[in-house]
Chains A and B, each alone.
Chain A
Amino acid sequence: MTTQRFTVLQRLLHWVMAICIIAMLFIGVGMVSTIMPKYLSLVAIHKPLGIAILILALIRLVVRLRYGAPSLPADLPEPMKLAAHLSHFAFYLLMIGMPLIGWAMLSAAEYPVVLFSGVHLPAILPQSDRLHALLWDAHFYLAFAFFALILLHVAAALFHALVRRDGVFEAMAPVPLPARDDEVALAE
């Protein structure tokens, strides 16, 4: 049982970013599969949202390095502990890597990286067909890997919350959860 929780700032960042990233992935797969006028609206959201996620991820990384994370329950099997640590590492890589890959991909295609009307970012790579093709593939396939990782993360979170009931879910829950009846019974 772990009773420690992530700091308020960490929980806030987690849940805000969860909404942003899930929206981002849906926008991404939606926009590349349509030719309707909404294509342009989706692309127009995708770019600034990606940069917002990049900034939030960098803040979150600093906060994580500063405040750390609650330790996992001592009785959690080693493979699950390893999976938890690796998945967190993968999340940080993707949260920081995906926006950079997208930005680099647009740069390599010599597209202007427009955030808002009149506000654009500089290119971070010179035009290059080969790099564009590589980055496009990376952005596309990593998006599916990212979504799969999120599904795994949600399944694991619910497993901790509903089956193991070991306090791991509560550590990141947006609000403190009321103690369950059986826990109250245990405490008595």
Chain B
Amino acid sequence: MAEQRQPPTRHVLGSFVLIAVVVGASAGAFAYTAGWLTPQRLTPNKLVDAFAPPGGPALGHRRNHAKGICFTGVFEANGNGSALSRAQAFARGDYPALGRFNLGTAESDAPDATVRVRGMGLRIVTPDGQEWRTAMINAPVFAVSTPQAFYGLLLASASKDPNAMNMFAAANPEIAGFGAWAEKGPWTGSYAEEQYNSLNSFVFTNSLGTDHTVRWSLLPAVQPVAVAPDELAKRGPDFLEQEIVDRVSHGPVRWTMEVTVAEPGDPTADPSKAWPVGRQTVDVGTLVVQQIEAERDGPCRDINFDPTVLPSGMSTSDDPFPAARSSAYAKSYDERTAEASYYPRTKTEAKP
């Protein structure tokens, strides 16, 4: 019976060929989707690797903004933001905030005075269980228009070719805005004196379902005082951390959160371009930093300040950076958690 059922040899051969084709094509489609057949694809691994300094990444640390210090405090929403977004973080009230002052460097032990870009990671949690995470920097505009150009910038910065940066700037002229700030903008002696900008745009949706494309900034309550970088260099490698610890120990430090609303035609997709002056701004509340903790065992250490973690009422816009940042931050988080044994913790992790 079994033998009678056997199809002719030629049919069997054909069947095996068909099976091989089906399996091979499926494996090929999978490999293509995984990017194995397209080595030119810009993957998060490539982007994250491009941050590594010549001596290799600081193991166990963030791959960029590697040096930082944690803070906790409260976001006091004044209710004005509710006109723009239905997120609970904008309903009048106080919500716990957790964050991290940081330096835009891949070196976890960079001297503070050597790093131009200062940043703040922030997480606001609301009683409805939702979270708003954001990571902002003190530059008024971003260096480039697209994530691909940013990758090019990382490669050019790391290049041994002395002409690489000039060639990059020629091909990406939008870098001039950031360059002017980096060169001529004031340096300050404190994290408390910096303005932190989202740079990327996001879409806020209010309870009526109306969308507005916005950017936000944290404006310091402390009056900034310009200090020359060589003067800052004399203050020691960790002066920013020491200063903020000292300052907050004497009393909370505040920032006003200001949301700027785009008008049709504004360059919402390009963080290297400022929006025209005179756009509507809404003061939505105050960030109050109440306590500083060393990153080592601080509450910000294990948080990925992924700017796409947004509460209902906020979403990403046509700006391509938040997606690229989310993808790269996740990769950075995966790498540093895998390297946790290299991180200089002082307390042992509680065994779950």
Partners in one complex: yes
Residues of A within 8 A of B (CB): 1, 25-26, 29-40, 43, 75, 109-112, 117-118, 120, 125-133, 136-137, 147, 150-151, 154-155, 158-159, 162-166, 182, 186
Q: Is B326 engaged at the interface, CB distance under 8 Å to the other chain?
A: yes
What sequence of 0s and 1s flags, for each residue 312-341 of chain B, a beta carbon within 8 Å of any chain A beta carbon? 100110001011101110000110111010
- Additional pairs, 16, CB under 8 Å, beyond known A39-B323, A40-B316, A120-B130: A26-B29, A30-B34, A31-B327, A33-B34, A34-B41, A34-B44, A35-B43, A36-B324, A39-B324, A112-B309, A118-B312, A151-B23, A155-B23, A159-B19, A163-B7, A165-B7
B7 touches A75 (CB 8 A): no
Chain A residues lying within 8 Å of B312, measured Cβ to Cβ, are 117-118
Q: Which of B3-40 contact A (CB under 8 A)?
A: 4-5, 7, 11-12, 15-16, 18-19, 22-23, 26-27, 29-30, 33-35
A129 touches B302 (CB 8 A): yes
Q: Report the tally of A-B residue pairs with Cβ distances under 8 A.
A: 137
- Tell me the smallest distance from the CB of B9 to a CB of chain A, in Å: 11
8 contacts between A and B (CB under 8 A): A35-B42, A35-B327, A36-B323, A39-B327, A129-B343, A151-B26, A162-B7, A164-B5
What separation, in Å, do the CA atoms of A28 and B328 have in the docked complex?
A: 15
What separation, in Å, do the CA atoms of A25 and B26 have in the docked complex?
A: 12
Residue in contact with A129 in the complex, picked from B4, B34, B131, B337, CB distance below 8 Å: B337
User: How many residues on the B side are at the interface (Cβ–Cβ under 8 A)?
Assistant: 58
Contact A26 to B30, CB < 8 A, known contacts A1-B5, A127-B302, A129-B349: yes
A155 touches B19 (CB 8 A): yes
- Tell me the smallest distance from the CB of B294 to a CB of chain A, in Å: 17
- Tell me the smallest distance from the CB of B95 to a CB of chain A, in Å: 15
Residue in contact with A112 in the complex, picked from B130, B324, B336, CB distance below 8 Å: B130
Chain A residues lying within 8 Å of B323, measured Cβ to Cβ, are 35-40
- Tell me the smallest distance from the CB of B120 to a CB of chain A, in Å: 18
A33 touches B30 (CB 8 A): no
A132 touches B337 (CB 8 A): yes
Contact A110 to B303, CB < 8 A, known contacts A39-B326, A182-B7: yes
Secondary structure dominating the interface of A = helix
What separation, in Å, do the CA atoms of A159 and B350 have in the docked complex?
A: 51
> Which 5 A-B pairs have CB atoms at the shortest separation, nearest pair first?
A118-B312, A33-B35, A129-B340, A162-B15, A29-B34
Q: Is B304 engaged at the interface, CB distance under 8 Å to the other chain?
A: yes
Q: Is B129 engaged at the interface, CB distance under 8 Å to the other chain?
A: yes
Residue in contact with A136 in the complex, picked from B11, B41, B338, CB distance below 8 Å: B338
What separation, in Å, do the CA atoms of A57 and B41 have in the docked complex?
A: 34
Q: Is B352 engaged at the interface, CB distance under 8 Å to the other chain?
A: yes
User: What residue in chain A is nearest B340 (Cβ atoms)?
Assistant: A129
- Tell me the smallest distance from the CB of A146 to a CB of chain B, in Å: 11
What separation, in Å, do the CA atoms of A75 and B323 have in the docked complex?
A: 55
